[in-house]
């Protein structure tokens, strides 16, 4: 599998990364999925301290222990569970981040984290303080590089201007093209890697298509619009491509994108995603068709 440089870092990540949130808490099953990912050439594994109260990090760390020096482990911090573990609060403070990283290192069973990410953020955060925490963690050797996971253009712009982040994880798909206007050009201009999540739009862009659509639609697509748009995409694009292939290749077509993160709850799902990512890139004609059929929206509420 091809690898791309993550921003200006010396991390080279597989074009397909495994989003570990959907692995579940059955360690044996999760390890089978991770092993299938490794066999396919995936070297980038994304988790977070929030997932399953930290159990996800434990499972991922254990499964990757035998190949630790050959893989890139990314995790996230900033959300802290309450004592009852029925809700969490946002805490991007330096004090909390420096505590959280040590807990993540312990659960992952490793001495360092390749990519440590802020798991959200708002413009009201103490951004300078958060950056200071990440910079100190780098100097102390706990993390190699840092980034943020955010869809807020104003927040992303602050970190781009003030910090040495190497990546931004952002939701991006054929049905969510908002990053194309403000975020992806900004990242490319500044040599920062985009890591995209949600490429299948909750399964609507997989081969199950409208079976996965909810009555609420998806973002600013009403259900009726999806019922028109999805079959039209299928009809207009090559019948030799699966919807999963079209969706993942659309993300890879943007030169700002370093890796596409997709979850998997089975070995079969890994194989389907790998097949899609290894396919031929979309042609200019195919990209034009997709853009003519789908919406180009802007971020409104999340700034």
Please list the residues that pair with 117 across neighbouring strands: 76, 147
Q: Which token pair is 40?
A: 């396919």
Catalytic residue among 12, 44, 51, 146: 51
3-state helix, strand, coil in the chain (%, to 5): 45, 20, 35
How far is Cα 197 from Cα 87, in angstroms, rounded to an integer? 23
For the CA atoms of 48, 84, 130, 301, the dihedral, rounded to the nearest 10 degrees, stands at 80
How far is Cα 156 from Cα 165, in angstroms, rounded to an integer? 10
Q: Checking DSSP bridges between strand 113-119 and strand 88-90, what pairing results, if any?
A: unpaired
Q: Checking DSSP bridges between strand 257-263 and strand 3-5, what pairing results, if any?
A: unpaired
Identify whether 218 is a catalytic site residue: no
Q: Which token pair is 26?
A: 């059955």
Q: What are phi and psi of 276, to 5 degrees?
A: -65, -40
Q: Which token pair is 6?
A: 């993550």
The position carrying tokens 């035998």 is 66
Q: Any residues with CB less than 8 A from the CB of 26 and at least 6 apart, and which?
A: none
Question: How open is the CA angle 12-122-177, to the nearest 5 degrees?
Answer: 60
H/E stretch holding 31: helix 27-39
Active site amino acids:
51
């Amino acid at each position: 599998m091809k690898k791309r440089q993550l921003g200006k870092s010396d991390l080279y990540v597989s074009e397909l990364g495994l989003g570990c949130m959907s692995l579940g808490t059955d360690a044996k099953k999760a390890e089978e999925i991770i092993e299938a990912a490794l066999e396919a050439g995936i070297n980038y594994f994304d988790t977070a301290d929030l997932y399953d109260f930290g159990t996800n990090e434990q499972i991922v760390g254990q499964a990757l222990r035998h190949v630790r020096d050959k893989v890139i482990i990314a995790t996230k911090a900033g959300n802290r569970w309450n004592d009852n573990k029925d809700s969490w609060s946002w805490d991007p403070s330096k004090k909390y981040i420096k505590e959280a990283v040590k807990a993540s290192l312990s659960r992952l069973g490793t001495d360092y984290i390749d990519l440590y990410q802020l798991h959200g953020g708002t413009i009201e955060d103490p951004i300078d303080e958060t950056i200071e925490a990440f910079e100190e963690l780098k100097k102390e050797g706990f993390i190699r590089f840092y980034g943020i996971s955010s869809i807020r253009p104003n927040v992303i712009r602050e970190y781009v201007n003030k910090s040495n982040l190497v990546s931004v994880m952002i939701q991006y798909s054929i049905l969510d093209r908002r990053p194309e206007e403000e975020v992806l050009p900004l990242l490319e201009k500044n040599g920062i890697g985009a890591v995209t999540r949600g490429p299948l739009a909750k399964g609507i862009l997989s081969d199950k298509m409208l079976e996965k659509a909810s009555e609420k639609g998806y973002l600013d697509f009403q259900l009726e619009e999806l019922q028109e748009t999805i079959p039209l995409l299928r009809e207009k694009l090559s019948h030799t491509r699966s919807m999963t292939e079209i969706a993942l290749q659309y993300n890879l077509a943007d030169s700002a994108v370093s890796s596409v993160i997709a979850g998997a709850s089975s070995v079969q799902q890994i194989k389907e995603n790998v097949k899609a990512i290894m396919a031929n890139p979309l042609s200019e004609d195919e990209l034009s068709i997709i853009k003519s059929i789908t919406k180009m929206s802007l971020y409104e509420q999340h700034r």
